């Protein structure tokens, strides 16, 4: 797949390739976090700087080294399949731990003290109800432009737990034929509810209660459905942001490609928790819209016929660029994402 061309940054030397990818991820992480440290004075975004002035630079260094280490691990698809869920859960634990500690009275662990509910659906519904507060939608869209629907498999603070629930079953069941219709209906319902609450002048308390009920419904979906079927039902059906990520992900230049020499063995189907590789999808040589570029199928493919695509670059270069982008975003989110 993806013959090399003169623009490729990847060679036939694995050791050199790992070094290039690792240094690129570390450099991008350092640049982004340094910009944050220099541009934002109050409130300081990096946690260490909130406790000790200037200590934010130590955090920049630590996260830079961390991203370089992860990028090296991700260069091996087998290692990536192991490390992706680990670091995803680490991010979610750090995110919610800071929220809990902040709510217990340590204000340094909160961004501004103006809390919003940590429910993915509120990324879209919140601004529609309030008519303001577009930071999260802008951040979400920016991430989608950079790495497409990989937001859902690497960066979402809720998705990590749906992934963990799905792994309670060794092999995922086949996708339901009606899941696309349900996804669209739920997205329209959330959007309509937010607009209607705004038009009716619903109090913030009532709106928050409805949002919390929706969030608890998502937890029930993980515990009762995801664990039973082995497919991430919350992310692929219940969460409206998941559908938006899949649709808007077409803006991104990254794609998952299935090669023409695929032998239809179906092994990848047994490793896809997003119901994106049914027999029909493989026959079409194109994953379903629910694909989030998680990459688990790449490690499972014995014939190396599944890979990342990026314009006319080789699959190796496309993968390298994707790793640099997603690892850097993960490290930055780990450093600055809090409520």
Answer whether residue 11 shows pLDDT above 70: no
Answer whether residue 107 shows pLDDT above 90: no
Q: What is the mean pLDDT of residues 29-46?
A: 88
Same domain, 17 and 90: yes
Domains held by the chain: number: 2
Same domain, 99 and 121: no
Q: Is the residue at 272 inside a domain?
A: no
Same domain, 78 and 121: no
- As a whole number of Å, the CA-based R_g of the chain is 20
Same domain, 95 and 131: no
Question: pTM for this one?
Answer: 0.92
Q: What is the mean pLDDT of residues 196-208?
A: 95
- Whole-number Å distance between alpha carbons of 315 and 2: 5
Range of the domain at 183: 116-254
Positions of E strands within the chain:
254-258, 306-310
Tokens of 36: 């944050």
Residue that finishes a domain, picked among 234, 254, 274: 254
pLDDT of residue 338: 82
Q: What is the dihedral of CA 140, 47, 334, 83, to 10 degrees?
A: -170
pLDDT of residue 15: 80
pLDDT of residue 6: 46
The residues that bridge with 309 in the sheet, in sequence order, are 255
Q: Is the residue at 172 inside a domain?
A: yes
pLDDT of residue 135: 83
- Whole-number Å distance between alpha carbons of 47 and 205: 30
Q: Left, alpha or beta for 201 (phi > 0: left; psi -120 to 50: alpha)?
A: left
Q: Is the residue at 263 inside a domain?
A: no
Same domain, 122 and 240: yes
Same domain, 36 and 97: yes
Same domain, 107 and 136: no
230 neighbors 172 (Cβ within 8 angstroms): yes
pLDDT of residue 206: 95
What is the residue-averaged pLDDT of the chain?
Answer: 92
Confidence of residue 8 (pLDDT cuts 50, 70, 90): low
Confidence of residue 115 (pLDDT cuts 50, 70, 90): low
Quickly count: other Cβ atoms within 10 Å of residue 86's Cβ.
Answer: 12
pLDDT of residue 175: 79
Same domain, 76 and 204: no
Helix (H, G, I), strand (E, B) or coil at 307: strand
Same domain, 83 and 144: no
């Amino acid at each position: 797949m993806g013959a090399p061309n003169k623009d490729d940054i990847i060679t036939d030397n694995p050791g050199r390739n790992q070094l290039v990818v690792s240094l690129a991820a570390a450099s991008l992480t350092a640049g982004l976090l340094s910009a944050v440290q220099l541009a934002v004075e109050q409130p300081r975004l990096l946690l260490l700087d909130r406790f000790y002035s200037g200590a934010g630079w130590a955090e920049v260094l630590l996260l830079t080294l961390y991203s370089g280490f992860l990028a090296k691990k991700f260069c091996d698809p087998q290692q990536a399949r192991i490390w992706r869920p680990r670091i995803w859960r680490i991010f979610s634990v750090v995110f919610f731990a800071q929220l809990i500690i902040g709510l217990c009275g340590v204000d340094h662990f909160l961004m501004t003290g103006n809390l919003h509910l940590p429910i993915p659906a509120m990324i879209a519904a919140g601004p529609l109800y309030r008519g303001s507060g577009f930071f999260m939608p802008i951040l979400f869209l920016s991430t989608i432009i950079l790495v497409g629907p990989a937001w859902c498999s690497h960066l979402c603070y809720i998705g990590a737990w749906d992934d963990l629930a799905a792994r309670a079953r060794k092999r995922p069941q086949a996708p339901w034929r009606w899941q696309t219709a349900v996804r669209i209906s739920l997205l329209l319902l959330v959007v309509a509810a937010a607009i209607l609450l705004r038009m009716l002048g619903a109090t913030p308390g009532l709106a928050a209660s409805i949002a919390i009920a929706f969030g608890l419904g998502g937890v029930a979906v993980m515990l009762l459905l995801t664990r039973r079927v082995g497919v991430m039902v919350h992310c692929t059906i219940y969460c409206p942001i998941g559908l938006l990520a899949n649709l808007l992900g077409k803006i991104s230049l990254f794609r998952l490609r299935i090669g023409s020499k695929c032998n239809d063995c179906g092994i990848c189907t047994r490793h896809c928790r997003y119901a994106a590789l049914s027999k029909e999808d493989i026959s079409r040589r194109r994953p379903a819209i629910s694909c989030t570029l998680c990459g688990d199928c790449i490690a499972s493919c014995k014939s190396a016929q599944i890979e990342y695509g990026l314009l006319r670059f080789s699959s190796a270069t496309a993968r390298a660029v994707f790793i640099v982008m997603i690892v850097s975003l993960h490290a930055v989110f780990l450093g600055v994402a809090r409520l």
